């Protein structure tokens, strides 16, 4: 008896995922998640192939300083004294979560 087409495609995706495990882990995980969506009965964890240093993390883009912040940064670089408001502005810019 031949397997159903959806079982064959799920098996193909799993085997393709195993082939690309070392060469391209991102593609391997994508193929595994595609297989998971096709087979609702069995849930596989997409992070199954995650190993240290084989995946990339996208960082948020670095925040561009506004004209006011640029002015304060330039003033600080020159060694000038900063007012309390300027210090707070600079601290808020440097501690923002999008700064790398």
Question: For the chain, which residues make up each domain, given as ranges?
Answer: 5-49, 62-100
pLDDT in tens, 23-77: 887 787 777 776 555 554 444 554 455 566 655 666 677 778 899 999 999 999 9
**Number of residues that make up the chain:** 100
pLDDT reported for residue 43: 43
Distance of alpha carbon 48 from alpha carbon 2, whole angstroms:
29
Residue 29 host element (H or E): helix 25-38
**Is 90 exceeded by the pLDDT of residue 4?**
no
pLDDT (0 to 100) of residue 49 = 55
């Amino acid at each position: 008896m031949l397997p159903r087409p959806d079982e064959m495609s799920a098996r193909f995706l799993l085997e393709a995922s195993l082939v690309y495990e070392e060469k391209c882990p991102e593609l391997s995980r994508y193929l595994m998640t595609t297989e998971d969506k096709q087979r609702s009965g069995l849930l596989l964890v997409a992070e199954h192939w995650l190993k240290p240093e084989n995946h990339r993390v996208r960082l948020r883009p670095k925040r561009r300083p506004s004209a006011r912040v640029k002015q304060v940064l330039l003033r600080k670089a020159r060694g000038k004294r900063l007012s309390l408001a300027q210090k707070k502005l600079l601290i808020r810019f440097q501690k923002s979560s999008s700064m790398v």
